[in-house]
Amino acid sequence: MLGEKYLKLDMSYWGRSQRLVIQILCIWALAAYGLPALVLETNKMKYLGFPLGYYNCAQVIPMFFGFLLLVFNGVQEGIEADQTDGKPAPEAASSSALNAMLAKVYVAYTGGFVFFVLFLGFLEAVGVPDQAIGILFVIFTLGMYAAIGIASRTSKSDDFYVAGRNVPPIFNGMATAADWMSGASFVGMAGTLYALGYDGLAYIIGWTGGYVLVSTVIAPYLRRFGSFTVPEFIASRYQSTVQLPGGKVVELSGVSRFLATIVLLSCSFTYLTAQVYSTGVIVSRFIGIQFEVAVFSGLIGVLFCSLLGGMRAVTYTQVAQYVILIIAYTVPAICMSTTQDDGFNKNNPVEFLAYGGTLQAITLREKEMVLLGLASKVTPYLEPKWRRVDFFALTFCLMVGTASLPHVLMRYFTTPSVRSARRSVTWSLGFILVLYMTAPAYAAFAKLEVYTNVIGTPLSVLPKWIFTYGKIGLTTVCGKAVTSVNEAIEACAQASSGDYLLKLKDLKISKDAMVIATPEIAGLPYTIAGLVSAGGLAASLSTADGLLLAISNALSHDIYFRLIDNKASIQKRLMISRVLLVVIALISAGTAASRPADILSMVAWAFSLAASGNFPALCLGIWWRRANAQGAIAGQICGWGLTLAYLLGTRYGGWALWGGISNVAAAVFGLPVGFAANIIVSLLTPPPPDEVLAMVDSLRDFKVTGEDLTAEELEDIKEKEEALARTQVPQVSNTAEATAVATAEESI
């Protein structure tokens, strides 16, 4: 019967996997957009002192995304177990041994770092100058990163490009979290929430929700393919030829590879420059050297990691950096949390549960400042100011952009298997949540401290931190970066310091100063401030490492090796990659040292550019067999081109915003155009070649009984352990060749 035909479920591995992904994404979308849509109504309800709508967006939704990934992994692994008669896929012996060894190393490392911080606290107590403590923090952390880079040096291409594909999920999750939590997240997230209040939660929802897309739609399939880079996958998936009118035959995979590399460069370079810029700010603040010198000093730590050991060194350095940055971020928040006694919490060290009363106090203080004449109008911290469409558009672009950023996706090429890649994404989100769930508390504690103890005080008793950060332009009083009480008096056009009370409009704090300055704002010991600087430095350097590798690998592997000299030896390719690392690092440092006015705002563009340029090609390449090279190229050009035009036109060309949508969310225009162009052109042109269709089928199939590896990777494991055997997963020729070259180098 017709009804039975359509109601009959596809019980194959791919059919069950498809239904699971659709179900997960429906629940994901409902949580991501349903709860924020009801924020005004739910804010009227209270939970532990929190307005429920705000708490849902700040804490519940991100945690729910993590829970959703746990469910997805469990069900998907159950589907895979059914393909092996209920037997779970065994882990490689080398992976288990490596996991145990790394656990011992990093537990010892964490203990050593905690002891180092306590030792510096002792030095502060006995009178060692603050600047000396700051110098010790910076030197210790940079020295540790350089030491790991030297210890992890390698001359193998698979180690250099993908860390040998044997990084355990939990450690790859830590490395990804460090790679992801750039200086913008570490330094800027709490500052964004401080400045925007509820609207800033769009960043938390968008960036955490993006990892659901990474795990369900993209990462496992890229790992199964076994490439070195994102452009490598796009080129291999979109193979085809076209004959020009003159009779010349053009290989379209080279065109799609080139366009994918352009997209990678466009969304990575400004991001990289911003990390180097953040490094310069932190080093110059806590060591006291000139900003330009600080930029190039911080660059040394980056190059030691990425230059000597590539992805292998960067991975293990990023794990160490995650340990430092998360300790640095949570310790001040916990210290401030334990001082709260607001009727709902008393000395509660769980910071993401302890700021409900603080939010209520902020609301009361906002009204009080207006009554006292300290502010003419205060925008409520807990209520949305943006249109809902603006909030949802930004959230959407950040989610899809997260699932498209090359330096994030390439981290999942380093895991031992497809299953490990999925688990790694879940670990990544878990480690990221530790920071993102702390950021709202950080912002709230700082907001109340400033509202209560700074706004309304005479100029004569302004706290020292205002002048400290005024020296580097991160705070202003009455429109000027002041460094003393006298300068504040002059800036506010007052005759004396005792009569004028500082008003809300008089004080401006850069969002980039908030996390670094909060320990000083809260009156915590300087050792805590130094710890935060070390964390910010770790966040900036870890992301810079990943971005440098993404750019240099794409240029050396996808442009030089694949398009210019496909007979280049392994040694020559690694040499080219290392030279490019240095060149790109120097260019980014030079750009950062010039303090460009637009570089930090352009960082947010990376997500829209990546989403519109990469996501249609990646998503359709995996999930729609009919997508072909002509469609992918059309989608890349139209989607990425429209997004770039909107960004540049609204920023520099005097264009009006379309529908009032900020250029930060430009992908809401480019992404659907990219999908539409890809689909329409694919349908109007011949289907992909049979070998490409076979490759797509291999991505969707489950044929192995253990680690889901390519034939070449199995051969590599056999050589190393002589104990593992796996069934092959078919690959298209050029990817198999790339992996075969990587494994063959064992004999070189």
pLDDT digits (tens, 9 = 90+) for 165-176: 889 999 999 999
Distance CA 682, CA 454 (A): 61
pLDDT higher than 60, residue 740: no
| Mean pLDDT, range 76-88, rounded to an integer | 77
pLDDT higher than 50, residue 452: yes
The pLDDT value given to residue 110: 93
pLDDT higher than 60, residue 16: yes
pLDDT higher than 90, residue 34: yes
| Mean pLDDT, range 233-237, rounded to an integer | 93
pLDDT higher than 50, residue 657: yes
Identify residue 593 by its one-letter amino acid code: A
pLDDT band at 88 (very low <50, low <70, confident <90, very high): low
pLDDT band at 425 (very low <50, low <70, confident <90, very high): very high
Question: Using an 8 Å Cβ cutoff, are 276 and 592 in contact?
Answer: yes
Q: What percent of the chain has pLDDT over 70?
A: 87
pLDDT band at 623 (very low <50, low <70, confident <90, very high): very high
The pLDDT value given to residue 597: 58
pLDDT digits (tens, 9 = 90+) for 509-567: 887 777 878 888 878 888 888 888 888 888 888 888 888 888 888 888 888 888 888 88
Lowest mean pLDDT among 141-155, 377-391, 397-411: 141-155
Identify residue 90 by its one-letter amino acid code: P
Residues forming a β-bridge with 47:
50
Residue 212 CA neighbour count, 13 Å, CB half: 32
pLDDT higher than 50, residue 717: no
Tokens 């504690």 found at: 445
Between vectors from CA 579 to CA 573 and to CA 584, what angle results, nearest 5°?
A: 120
Question: Using an 8 Å Cβ cutoff, are 474 and 507 in contact?
Answer: no
Question: Using an 8 Å Cβ cutoff, are 232 and 257 in contact?
Answer: yes
pLDDT higher than 70, residue 1: no
Distances (CA, A) of 558 to 404, 575, 610, 713: 18, 15, 17, 21
Mean pLDDT of the chain: 84
The pLDDT value given to residue 3: 42
Q: What percent of the chain has pLDDT over 90?
A: 40
Distances (CA, A) of 726 to 79, 90, 293, 716: 19, 11, 53, 11
pLDDT band at 29 (very low <50, low <70, confident <90, very high): very high
pLDDT higher than 70, residue 728: no
pLDDT band at 647 (very low <50, low <70, confident <90, very high): very high
Distance CA 142, CA 145 (A): 5
The pLDDT value given to residue 649: 95
Question: Using an 8 Å Cβ cutoff, are 269 and 124 in contact?
Answer: no
The pLDDT value given to residue 721: 42
Lowest mean pLDDT among 331-335, 661-665, 726-730: 726-730
Q: What is the DSSP annotation of 271-307?
A: HHHHHHHHHHHHHHHHH---HHHHHHHHHHHHHHHHH
pLDDT band at 130 (very low <50, low <70, confident <90, very high): confident
Question: Using an 8 Å Cβ cutoff, are 682 and 626 in contact?
Answer: yes
Structure tokens at 133: 């403590």
The pLDDT value given to residue 703: 57
Residue 250 has phi, psi (to 5 degrees) of: -110, 130
pLDDT digits (tens, 9 = 90+) for 471-510: 877 889 998 989 888 888 888 887 565 678 899 999 998 8
Residue 305 CA neighbour count, 13 Å, CB half: 33
pLDDT higher than 60, residue 151: yes
pLDDT band at 279 (very low <50, low <70, confident <90, very high): confident
Highest mean pLDDT among 309-313, 331-335, 347-351, 399-403: 399-403
pLDDT band at 738 (very low <50, low <70, confident <90, very high): very low
| Mean pLDDT, range 79-93, rounded to an integer | 65
Identify residue 104 by its one-letter amino acid code: K
The pLDDT value given to residue 590: 86
Question: Using an 8 Å Cβ cutoff, are 432 and 330 in contact?
Answer: no
pLDDT higher than 70, residue 10: no
Q: What is the CA radius of gyration of the chain?
A: 26
**Quick one: which of 583, 589, 593, 581 has its CA closest to 546?**
581
The pLDDT value given to residue 2: 40
Distance CA 707, CA 720 (A): 15
By the 10 Å C-beta count (0-12 exposed, 13-18 middle, 19+ buried), 652 is classed as exposed
Distances (CA, A) of 224 to 165, 241, 509, 713: 11, 25, 47, 11
Residues forming a β-bridge with 343:
none
pLDDT band at 366 (very low <50, low <70, confident <90, very high): very high
pLDDT band at 304 (very low <50, low <70, confident <90, very high): low
pLDDT digits (tens, 9 = 90+) for 588-610: 888 888 776 555 566 778 899 99
pLDDT band at 718 (very low <50, low <70, confident <90, very high): very low
Provide, for the chain, the percentages of residues in helix, strand and coil under a 3-state DSSP scheme, each rounded to the nearest 5: 75, 5, 25
The pairing of strands 241-243 and 249-251 is: antiparallel
pTM of the model: 0.87
Q: What is the DSSP annotation of 620-667?
A: HHHH-TT--HHHHHHHIIIIIHHHHHHHHHHHHS-PPPGGG--GGGTH
The pLDDT value given to residue 710: 46
Residue range 1-90+97-456+503-700, CATH number? 1.20.1730.10
Higher-scoring residue by pLDDT: 247, 353:
353
DSSP character at residue 549:
H
Structure tokens at 28: 């994901």
pLDDT band at 700 (very low <50, low <70, confident <90, very high): confident
